[in-house]
């Protein structure tokens, strides 16, 4: 720095150079600019440092914006998933339907929060046969949640990512209105319930047409294939896609074609808990709830936290509902306490799936496996990679 700026500005500039944080640098540079004499000889120095100050301030702005976005990422509504995640939801009503009570019964968490409004999610871990289920007690779903009312967007975005949604329905109140509200808000949020994704894929291509192929016998059973193809083409064209290969793998309807085009549609498994089963008239209410909703909801469970009524084998019920099975590995004759969890849908997992799940190297160096299956005719079996696994199988992998 040239000496014609005088000792005061010189000292101020030194303070700027010594500053370590961005905030400090900005402050010291501002001080320097306020004391530096402004004349022809210092013109360039002043301009340079003003430009430097502007850059530092931009950096500070960027940092603030970044901090804001990070703060959003750690919002109390975003939950770090652990194990198999179940989310409890209900409509908004006072007194509540008993979500926090259920969370407490299952996990011991949040006892002092029963009977109070739950403003942010409460979380607990339910452990069953060494398998961890994360239970999330969500704030109630308000009318208009799908449009963002009552943190609806945050709540629903968590629902979209969970393993199982649990509708909690207060059996001592009219169940129709509770079901109607939850079904409406989820439907409007493009969450489809207890149905598989449609058997159709749409791949954009370079060719200038939309081609439709029916790839399975099931798919060929769709009525009037030619008119159906025309309608599919029309829907896809309307959706803004001009060139595509459409593959159909099963029976479909046109709503499913629309859904397949919409990336925001998700397919979720949902169960229902009927709560407060100890109160008057709830037996009838539970019966009617089942009668009306059993087709769409194959799993409806009656509960009473007051009487401690809750299925003892809840973990197994849930695994079955989610099409998951438990496989126990064995090493040198000792069975692992904690099972591996594998999907048995659309196919039973094989020895290969198990090997890959443990570690790729078990697959690469695989020699054979020993399966122990209780209750089967041949209890212990030597098998290869293609062998299909069943729930509770014990497996010992042997490598070369
Ligand atoms: N009789 C009865 N009352 C219950 C049961 N579960 C919860 N409650 C009561 O219902 C009210 C709301 O419970 P809470 O768990 O806070 O509901 P939330 O708002 O859905 O979390 C509280 O007064 C609970 O004591 C139950 O199984 N039987
Ligand atoms: Mg609560």
- Which ligand is nearest to the Cα of residue 111, counting in written order? 1
CA-nearest residue, atom 17 of ligand 1: 98
Residue 371 lies in a domain: yes
Lowest-confidence pick of 70-74, 223-227, 289-293, 396-400: 70-74
Residue 372 lies in a domain: yes
Parallel, antiparallel or unpaired: strands 200-204 and 244-248? antiparallel
Q: The CATH number of the domain where 8 resides is what? A: 1.20.58
Pair 190, 132: CB distance under 8 Å:
no
Place of tokens 């009617």: 288
Per-residue pLDDT of 77-126, as tens digits, reads 888 899 999 999 999 999 999 999 999 999 998 888 888 988 999 999 99
| 240 and 289 within one domain | no
The answer, yes or no, to whether any atom of ligand 1 lies below 6 A from the CB of 101, is yes
| 249 and 117 within one domain | no
The answer, yes or no, to whether any atom of ligand 1 lies below 6 A from the CB of 108, is no
- Which ligand is nearest to the Cα of residue 118, counting in written order? 2
Pair 108, 127: CB distance under 8 Å:
no
pLDDT computed for residue 386 by the predictor: 97
Q: Which of 73, 105, 124 corresponds to the end of one domain?
A: 73
Residue 243 lies in a domain: yes
102 Cα–ligand 1 center, Å: 8
Helix (H) or strand (E) holding 87: strand 84-89
Instruction: Name the domain count of the chain.
Output: 4
| 331 and 208 within one domain | no
The answer, yes or no, to whether any atom of ligand 1 lies below 6 A from the CB of 97, is yes
| 290 and 153 within one domain | yes
Residue 78 lies in a domain: no
| 288 and 173 within one domain | yes
- Which ligand is nearest to the Cα of residue 94, counting in written order? 1
| 295 and 187 within one domain | yes
pTM recorded for the entire structure: 0.80
Per-residue pLDDT of 3-33, as tens digits, reads 578 889 999 999 999 998 999 999 999 999 9
| 149 and 298 within one domain | yes
Report the chain's C-alpha Rg in angstroms.
31
| 314 and 348 within one domain | no
The answer, yes or no, to whether any atom of ligand 1 lies below 6 A from the CB of 233, is no
| 157 and 49 within one domain | no
The answer, yes or no, to whether any atom of ligand 1 lies below 6 A from the CB of 251, is no
Q: Which of 318, 337, 359 corresponds to the end of one domain?
A: 318
Quote the CA–CA distance of 195 and 317 in Å, as a whole number. Answer: 19
Q: Which of 234, 262, 290 corresponds to the end of one domain?
A: 262
Pair 51, 33: CB distance under 8 Å:
no
Question: What is the span of the domain harbouring residue 244?
Answer: 200-262
**H helices, E strands: number in the chain:** 13, 17
The answer, yes or no, to whether any atom of ligand 1 lies below 6 A from the CB of 118, is yes
Residue 273 lies in a domain: yes
150: which DSSP letter?
G
Quote the CA–CA distance of 267 and 189 in Å, as a whole number. Answer: 11
| 153 and 38 within one domain | no
| 311 and 336 within one domain | no
| Local confidence band at 265 (pLDDT 50, 70, 90 cut-offs) | very high
pLDDT computed for residue 310 by the predictor: 97
Pair 196, 323: CB distance under 8 Å:
no
Pair 127, 106: CB distance under 8 Å:
no
Residue 351 lies in a domain: yes
pLDDT computed for residue 15 by the predictor: 93
């Amino acid at each position: 720095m040239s000496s014609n700026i005088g000792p005061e500005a010189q000292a101020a500039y030194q303070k700027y150079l010594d500053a370590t944080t961005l905030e400090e640098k900005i402050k010291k540079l501002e001080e320097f600019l306020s004391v530096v004499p402004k004349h022809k000889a210092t013109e360039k120095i002043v301009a340079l440092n003003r430009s430097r100050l502007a850059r530092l301030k931009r950096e500070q702005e960027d940092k603030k914006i970044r901090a804001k976005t990070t703060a959003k990422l750690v919002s109390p509504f975003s939950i770090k998933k652990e194990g198999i995640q179940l989310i409890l939801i209900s409509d908004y009503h006072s007194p509540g339907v008993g979500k926090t009570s259920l969370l407490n019964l299952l996990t011991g968490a949040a006892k002092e929060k029963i009977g109070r409004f739950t403003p942010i999610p409460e979380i607990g871990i339910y452990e069953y046969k060494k398998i961890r289920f994360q239970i999330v007690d969500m704030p109630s779903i308000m009318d208009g949640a799908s449009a963002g009312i009552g943190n609806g967007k945050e709540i629903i975005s968590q629902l979209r990512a969970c393993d199982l949604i649990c509708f909690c329905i207060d059996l001592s109140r009219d169940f129709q209105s509770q079901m109607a509200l939850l079904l409406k808000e989820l439907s409007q949020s493009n969450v489809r319930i207890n149905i598989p994704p449609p058997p159709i894929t749409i791949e954009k291509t370079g060719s200038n047409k939309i081609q439709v192929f029916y790839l399975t016998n099931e798919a060929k059973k769709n009525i009037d294939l030619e008119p159906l193809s025309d309608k599919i083409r029309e829907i896809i064209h309307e959706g803004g896609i001009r060139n595509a290969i459409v593959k159909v793998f099963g029976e479909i309807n046109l709503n499913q074609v629309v859904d397949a085009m919409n990336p925001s549609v998700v397919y979720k498994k949902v169960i229902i808990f009927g709560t407060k089963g100890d109160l008057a008239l709830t037996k009838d209410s539970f019966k009617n709830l089942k009668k009306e909703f059993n087709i769409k909801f194959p799993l409806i469970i009656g509960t009473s936290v007051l009487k401690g009524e809750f299925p003892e084998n809840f973990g197994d019920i849930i695994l079955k509902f989610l099409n998951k099975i438990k496989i126990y590995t064995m090493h040198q004759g000792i069975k692992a306490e904690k099972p591996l969890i594998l999907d048995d849908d659309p196919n039973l997992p094989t020895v290969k799936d198990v090997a890959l799940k443990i570690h790729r190297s078990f697959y690469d160096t695989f020699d054979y496996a020993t399966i122990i299956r209780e209750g089967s005719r041949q209890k212990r079996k030597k098998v290869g990679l293609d062998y299909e696994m069943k729930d509770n199988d014990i497996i010992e992998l042997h490598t070369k």
